[in-house]
Amino acid sequence: MRSAWLTLLLFLASTGTVAQAQDNRTVVVTRGEYLARAGDCIACHTAPDGQIFTGGRAMPTPFGTLYTSNITPDPETGIGRWSPDDFYKTMHSGRFPDGGLIYPAMPFGSYTKVTRADSDAIFAYLRSIPPVNQKNRPHDLRFPYGNRSLILGWRTLFFSEGEYKSDPSKSAEWNRGSYLVEGLGHCGMCHSPINALGGTPQSEAFKGGLIPMQNWYAPSLTSNREAGLGDWSIKDITDLLQTGVSARGVVYGPMAEVVHNSLQYLNDEDTKAMAVYLKSIAESGTRVPSSSALPTTESSLLTSLGKTVYDARCASCHGAQGEGKPPHWPPLANNQSIEMESAVNPIRMVLNGGYPPGTEGNPRPYGMPPFAGLLSDNEVAAVVTYIRTTWGNRGTPVSAREANELRSAPLN
């Protein structure tokens, strides 16, 4: 009898242990899914018409085209044979399990900051999704960039390996925001200037730059003359990150994809932490634009024509005085994104239009129609010049040549 009772007790104990282990694994996988969202893994590792995380997405670069890899748990073509150590090595050091060098289009310069616990959780999530047998497509790089040994030079100049270290002089909330922005969120990949070698010196981090091959300008996060958020309220920043719209502005283009795929899924605590950190790195400064390269007479004519175009095409949504109707129609007056040195984004918006992301907080976004088929290059330049130089805005005029260059540029 005692033996039977002992057997029963051992069975119940083992059953409880198994159940607890399963519960723990579910928690880890759920957290991993959340972290994968924060890292926006889906954006690169899913082709427009492909299955989730099967890779094959083309990543055009100045050096040729890279194709993203299959990260489903397929043992032949994916990461099914990887261990947690292998995955962490890839995230942390930018090397494949066999030691091979990874091209820095994968943001391992940011992912190196991710903790081992978070890396393991992401790996557990990826191992839980359905495996898909899909071979990775070879990269198509110009000579000599197909030689991976060249990456060693890039790493020496631009890569510092190491997990995120908290700043003890800052709050836990600030450090959490810093970890997400600098690490998993890899915001610096777009919001930092990229030099001819395809890298960014640490001193230039978050200072803005043209996104290679995409014809969008990712504004500086450190300068209040661009996208610096130093004079924004925490609520306006969190609204923008979570929904794509706020009383101060609206996101379009690549940033709209980031909000749609990633940022809208973050919890309120993490979103606020990011807002606190982003607000803290903004450096105050007077909005003094560069001097215009256009003759005064030409600038005056553009402004005059621009008002005519604006009143006919834009004022009904953005207001006669550029006041807008927030949050859906952003104000153009005193809008730092309009006044930036680069006029690429406002020119693209006039030409191609666009939509903010559809999010839970803004499920039916109001879009802007394209005017490329309705306005000439001179009219596009004129209306952008008018917007950038009116209502107290201190931007500089743009030329018809700039409008024409972006009209013929590929849409990405």
Tens-place pLDDT, residues 307-327: 999 999 999 999 999 999 988
Two tokens, residue 81:
């044979």
Tell me the pLDDT of the chain averaged across its residues: 90
H/E element holding 30?
Answer: helix 2-38
Tens-place pLDDT, residues 160-180: 999 999 999 999 999 999 999
Place of tokens 């557990």: 124
Better-predicted residue by pLDDT, 295 or 143: 143
Judge whether residue 31 has pLDDT over 60.
yes
Judge whether residue 213 has pLDDT over 70.
yes
Judge whether residue 285 has pLDDT over 60.
no
pLDDT for 348 equals 95
pLDDT for 228 equals 77
φ/ψ of residue 260, rounded to 5: -65, -45
pLDDT for 303 equals 79
DSSP-derived 3-state class of residue 5: helix
The predicted model gives 255-282 an average pLDDT of 96
Q: Domain ranges in the chain?
A: 22-158, 172-281, 296-407
The predicted model gives 49-70 an average pLDDT of 95
Judge whether residue 345 has pLDDT over 90.
yes
Judge whether residue 292 has pLDDT over 80.
no
Q: 172-281 and 296-407 share one CATH topology?
A: yes
Better-predicted residue by pLDDT, 126 or 326: 126
CATH of domain 296-407: 1.10.760.10
Judge whether residue 112 has pLDDT over 70.
yes
| Architecture (CATH level 2) of domain 172-281 | Orthogonal Bundle (1.10)
Going from the C-alpha of 50 to that of each of 28, 45, 53, 123, the distances in angstroms are 27, 9, 8, 21
Judge whether residue 62 has pLDDT over 80.
yes
